[in-house]
Chain A
Amino acid sequence: DIQMTQSPSSLSASVGDRVTITCRASQGISNYLAWFQQKPGKAPKSLIYGASSLQSGVPSRFSGSGSGTDFTLTISNLQPEDFATYYCQQYNSYPLTFGGGTKVEIK
């Protein structure tokens, strides 16, 4: 199985900050990577597919990059509604696997 490792596991940031979350795959997954946002008590919401393509309706302050084993999710100009937990998911091979999550908290 492909292991997905996210870092950091949590971070504190202020409104307006630029935040970067990393996700590393235990083997190469090309660009078969998605990012999700989850708020407490809610289902995850898809943000990015194909490592860098934004889902419809997702604000442009979210961006993704990377290929192979190393990926990043960047949130520029952090907004109050962005405080949440973020997960990466690889879909290069079965079983599909998720990272452990990064909680973005208010500083």
Chain B
Amino acid sequence: EVQLVESGGGLVQPGGSLGLSCAASGFTFSNYWMSWIRQTPERGLEWVANIKRDGSEKYYVDSVKGRFTISRDNAKNSLYLQMNSLRTEDTAVYYCARDDLNGGSGDYWGQGALVTVSS
């Protein structure tokens, strides 16, 4: 059974940093691109970033470029998102998602991790 379990969410002040982790199991992690996707009631679902199977390619939405870094450790079956210079508008539930081999992000999703940026 495919499982994705996020951890690391919490409350952080504007300008601060936070790291998210996603532990994957039930599939060959190194065979899949992986994504981070976030959701707020106001803005809905927003794809944040994804990373190629071997980590050699990474793509980001413009609003997080230069502030967020996606990475992975295939030996640990883990995906990461390092978030720096956080803004109040980064407040969201962050989902780890497996990219579909047929295309697109999200054939499987984690349960989500809440990140709250507030003073």
Contact = CB atoms under 8 A, between A and B. Distances in A.
Interface string B72-106: 00000000000000000000000100001011111
Given A43-B95, A95-B59, A89 B46 contact: no
Interface in A1-57: 1, 32, 34, 36, 43-46, 49-50, 53, 55
Given A87-B44, A98-B47, A43 B109 contact: yes
A95 B63 CA distance: 10
Given A95-B47, A95-B62, A100-B44, A50 B102 contact: yes
A101 B44 contact: yes
B54 interface: no
B110 A49 contact: no
A44 B45 CA distance: 10
Nearest to A90: B104
Given A95-B59, A98-B47, A100-B44, A43 B110 contact: yes
B61 A98 contact: no
Contacts of A94: 59
Given A34-B100, A95-B61, A87 B45 contact: yes
Given A44-B45, A45-B109, A98-B44, A34 B104 contact: yes
B103 A98 contact: no
Interface of B: 35, 44-47, 50, 59-62, 95, 100, 102-112
